[in-house]
Amino acid sequence: MTGDAEWERYADGGVLLDGFHALKHALRFGARVPVAVARDRKAALALSSELAPDLTGTLDGLLREVPAEVLRRLVPRPHPTGVAALALRGTSSVAADRDEPLVVLDNPRNLGNVGAVVRLAAGAGAGGVLTTGDADPWHPAAVRASAGLHFATTVEHRQVPELPGGQLFAFDPEGDDLRSLDLPAGAMLAFGSERHGLSDDVRARADHLVALPMRPQVSSYNLATSVAMALYHWMARAY
């Protein structure tokens, strides 16, 4: 099977990898990818030779070329690289005995921000990203923004009562300056939405309120920027 038929076989349970970079990262971190297509197979393999030579052999056996109109039918907004794939989600979950922090996004509204945070967590070596609220952290828009790095860390949706153990540091302008704190092993770092801040449930669950240093009269940082500052503080602790 090729094209539509093969794609449809995995579409219901598959995670859309939109673009070469998402496919590259998913494969590097062990994702099972049953189907991958390219508008120009030769160009995609050339891109692999340049940016991911470790995967060129794998992609040579995996990629199927499809016409541009078929790609547009399979993917609502095809990536400029002309590559798309479907991956199968694993069953990994947050480790109970972790030392790394977990990032908790409290009712995030912007899927691009969710993906950007997943990308940060993967790069920093965090223990994972948990989201509360209604947004699906595995939505194609979030996976696209993470460049497929959902497969490099743990990404789960949970409600507040289901959050795992560990001290919860919730970021709020009224909290203690992050620079004055040491984050313990296994801490959870909770961030509210830019407009609404922390929910009452997360605030009640918090062990500590933490503030990011910020110039007076500046309203807030972008969500991903806030997470980056907190994770850098954790990464720099040994230096």
pLDDT digit string (tens) for 136-190? 999 999 999 999 999 999 999 999 988 988 899 999 988 999 999 999 999 999 9
* Predicted confidence (pLDDT) per residue in 39-50, tens digit: 999 999 999 999
Is there a contact between 105 and 214 (Cβ–Cβ < 8 Å)? no
Percent of the chain with pLDDT over 90: 79
pTM higher than 0.85, yes or no? yes
Q: What are 87-111's pLDDT values in tens digits?
A: 998 777 877 788 999 999 999 999 9
Residue 93: count other Cβ atoms within 10 Å of its Cβ.
Answer: 11
Cite the residue boundaries of each domain of the chain with CATH code 3.30.1330.30: 3-88
Q: What is the mean pLDDT of the chain?
A: 92
Residues forming beta bridges with residue 239, ordered by sequence position: none
- What whole-number distance in Å separates Cα of residue 193 and Cα of residue 199? 9
pLDDT, residue 176, reads 95
Backbone angles phi, psi at 122, to 5 degrees: -65, -45
Taking residues 214-219, what's their average pLDDT? 86
- Give the sheet arrangement for strand 188-191, strand by strand: 155-157, 128-131, 102-105, 188-191, 168-177, 208-211
Query: Domain 3-88 - what CATH class?
Result: alpha beta
The pLDDT score that the predictor gives to residue 11 is: 86
Would you state the pLDDT for residue 3? Answer: 57
Q: Give residue-wise pLDDT tens across range 11-51.
A: 888 999 999 999 999 999 999 999 999 999 999 999 999 99
* Contact indicator for 147, 25 with CB cutoff of 8 Å: yes
pLDDT mean over 116-140? 95
Mean pLDDT, residues 62-74:
94
Average pLDDT, integer, range 121-125 = 96
Provide the pLDDT for residue 238: 57
Mean pLDDT of 57-85: 94
Q: Is pLDDT of 212 > 90?
A: yes
The whole-angstrom separation of Cα 233 and Cα 6 is 46
pLDDT at 66 over 50: yes
Domain with CATH 3.40.1280.10 in the chain: 102-238
Please report the DSSP string for the chain in residue order: --HHHHHHHHHTTEEEEESHHHHHHHHHTT-EEEEEEESSHHHHHHHHHHH-GGGHHHHHHHEEE--HHHHHHHSSS--TT-EEEEEE-------TT--SPEEEESS---HHHHHHHHHHHHHHT-SEEEE-SS--TTSHHHHHHTTTGGGGS-EEE--GGG--SS-EEEEEEEEEEGGG--PPTT-EEEE-BTTTBS-HHHHHH-SEEEE----TT-----HHHHHHHHHHHHHGGG-
Cβ–Cβ contacts within 10 Å for residue 24, how many?
22
Place of tokens 């194609």: 140
State whether CATH 3.30.420.40 applies to domain 102-238: no
Q: Phi, psi (5° rounding) for residue 86?
A: -120, 130
pLDDT at 1: 41
| pLDDT average, residue stretch 130-140 | 94
